[in-house]
Amino acid sequence: MDLGKKLRDALARIAKLPVVDENAVKGLIKELQRILISSDVNVKLVFELSKRIEKRALHSEKMEALTLREHVLKVVYEELVGLMGTGYEPKIDKHRILMVGLFGSGKTTSTAKLAYFYKSRGLSVLVVGADVERPAAQEQLEQLAEKVGVRFFSIKGEKNAAKVVKEALKGIKEDVVIVDSAGRSAFDSELSKELKGIYAELKPDETYLVLNADIGQVAGRQAEEFSSISPLTGVIVTKMDGSGKGGGALSAVAASNAKIAFVGIGEKINDLEVYDAKRFVGRLLGMPDIKGLVEKIESIQKEEQLEEMEGEELTIENFYKQLNAAKKMGPLGNVLGMMGMSDVPKEVLNTGEGKLKRYEAMINSMTKAERKDASLLKKSNSRIERVANGAGCEVKDVKSFLNEFEKMEKMMNMFKKNRGFRKQMEKMMKGGNLKGLGM
Ligand SMILES: Nc1nc2c(ncn2[C@@H]2O[C@H](COP(=O)(O)OP(=O)(O)OP(=O)(O)O)[C@@H](O)[C@H]2O)c(=O)[nH]1
Ligand SMILES: [Mg+2]
């Protein structure tokens, strides 16, 4: 039985209980411990995770709108995501990649999968067979390259991997170069020497260590050992399909100082995924459930942001916070317009990222007192000049910022006074009608 199925069964059992109480939560945690340990997650990590889940599930503040069951599910989800690391954003741009790893970990297959990944994103790819140990390895890569439809380069009979790389790079026209290196049985000085040679020639932007999920938590140690020989930018964990130890491998890599970049989930050329801990755990737990819950939580958070807005005194500092919050909420201007509040300065709400950045620079150049009391600035040209200098912009930019701030002040006052508007807003948030409004 795979990790996901076990986790889903455990959570389904808690869903069936008439009441979720302390005993039920403790029972769930015991079961989680068994499941994670059987998937080879390090016992210490499992123990720490259970303690955190227990503390947060039973003793931390629960969002009012969530049932205890939802709260527990949320905590388990968040903690598992924390256990499994973060995510990765591969460069979709010109760059050079070096693949390294021990025997049979899946380097050559992953080289071809990556070639396919970049090709299908519109980049041209060259794969280089720098596994000089075995002629068969070169043939394997050549065949895979042909299947993917990318150029392959190697030099038959050449025993110096660095030389193969050097030749490969001559007159290269492709956007992405992926170098497949030879597998080793251990991290030793020979490996180190060969890799140094390849590095010097290739100057890779990305170095991926390829690990087999079957090694479970040993993956963490390998990633660490390897990082000490050569700088890694990411780890590719292969054979996640059909491995009972994938959870152990991912959590151990996440706990080391390496980052999981991709996971291999089968033998086919497109069986490679960019790693995203949230999506991974979401899928393990059965996505529909979690997705709904996450949406619910997000809409509650938006509501809380609004409440904060109402309570706070308006200063330049929280003006900036509010602009950010408003942006996260989506086109608030639309909603306000639909409610007949067309006099709200839309340009304030539609402030672009670049503008926000400029504002931030200005705000950083203000004194504490100015941030708390904007009238200090409005009254003094020398203060405005100082801020403009500090932020690297012109006096008129600072003035236009102060102008927009003033508009926001007016809107805030309207927002505070108009209880009807607030109620309507709340109702919409609770009714989940935001989607239809483009939020
Ligand atoms: N099921 C499954 N099999 C995989 C995956 N990735 C690689 N394999 C298989 O694992 C075997 C070894 O893969 P290779 O790519 O040759 O490994 P390697 O690291 O290049 O091996 P050496 O060059 O000998 O060190 C092959 O049979 C692959 O088809 C994966 O994600 N899932
Ligand atoms: Mg190989």
Annotate 109-129 with DSSP letters as a single string: HHHHHHHHHHHTTT--EEEEE
Residue 114 and residue 239 in one domain: yes
Decide which of 41, 56, 83 is a domain's last residue.
Answer: 83
CATH number at residue 376: 1.10.260.30
Site residues for ligand 1, CB cut-off 6 Å: 101, 103-109, 131, 137, 183, 210, 238-239, 241-242, 264-267, 271
Residue 315: which region, alpha, beta or left (left: phi > 0; alpha: psi -120 to 50)?
beta
Residue 109 and residue 225 in one domain: yes
Residue 263 and residue 316 in one domain: no
Decide which of 56, 83, 110 is a domain's last residue.
Answer: 83
For ligand 1, pick from 98, 99, 107, 109 the residue to mutate: most ligand atoms within 8 Å of CB: 109
- Domain membership of residue 89 (yes or no) is no
Tens-digit pLDDT profile for residues 352-375: 556 777 888 888 888 888 888 888
CATH number at residue 14: 1.20.120.140
Ligand nearest to the CA of 214: 1
Residue 341 and residue 427 in one domain: yes
Tens-digit pLDDT profile for residues 177-221: 999 999 888 878 888 888 889 999 999 999 999 999 999 999 999
Residue 28 and residue 138 in one domain: no
pLDDT of the residue at 359: 81
CA of 12 to the centre of ligand 1 (A): 35
Residue 174 and residue 204 in one domain: yes
Task: Compute the distance between CA of residue 211 and CA of residue 438 in angstroms, rounded to an integer.
Answer: 43
CATH number at residue 174: 3.40.50.300
- Domain membership of residue 90 (yes or no) is no
pLDDT of the residue at 99: 96
Instruction: State which residues of the chain have pLDDT below 70.
Output: 1, 287-291, 301-314, 321-354, 412-439
Q: Is the pTM of this model over 0.85?
A: no
pLDDT of the residue at 344: 41
- Listed in sequence order, the residues at least 6 apart from 413 whose beta carbon sits closer than 8 Å to its beta carbon are none
- Domain membership of residue 398 (yes or no) is yes
* Number of structural domains the chain divides into: 3
Decide which of 284, 308, 331 is a domain's last residue.
Answer: 284
- Measured by CA distance, the residue closest to atom 4 of ligand 1 is 267
pLDDT of the residue at 432: 40
Domain region containing 371: 293-437
Task: Compute the distance between CA of residue 360 and CA of residue 325 in angstroms, rounded to an integer.
Answer: 14
What DSSP element (H or E) covers 242? none
Residue 35 and residue 165 in one domain: no
- Domain membership of residue 333 (yes or no) is yes
Residue 188 and residue 259 in one domain: yes
Residue 231 and residue 372 in one domain: no
Contact criterion met (CB below 8 Å) for 131 and 108: yes
Residue 271 and residue 202 in one domain: yes
- Domain membership of residue 387 (yes or no) is yes
- Domain membership of residue 200 (yes or no) is yes
The three-state secondary structure class of 339 is coil
pLDDT of the residue at 339: 37
pLDDT of the residue at 437: 34
- Nearest residue to 211 via CA among 179, 177, 252, 242: 252
- Domain membership of residue 325 (yes or no) is yes
Residue 176 and residue 259 in one domain: yes
CA of 212 to the centre of ligand 1 (A): 8
CA of 210 to the centre of ligand 1 (A): 10
Residue 302 and residue 432 in one domain: yes
- Domain membership of residue 88 (yes or no) is no
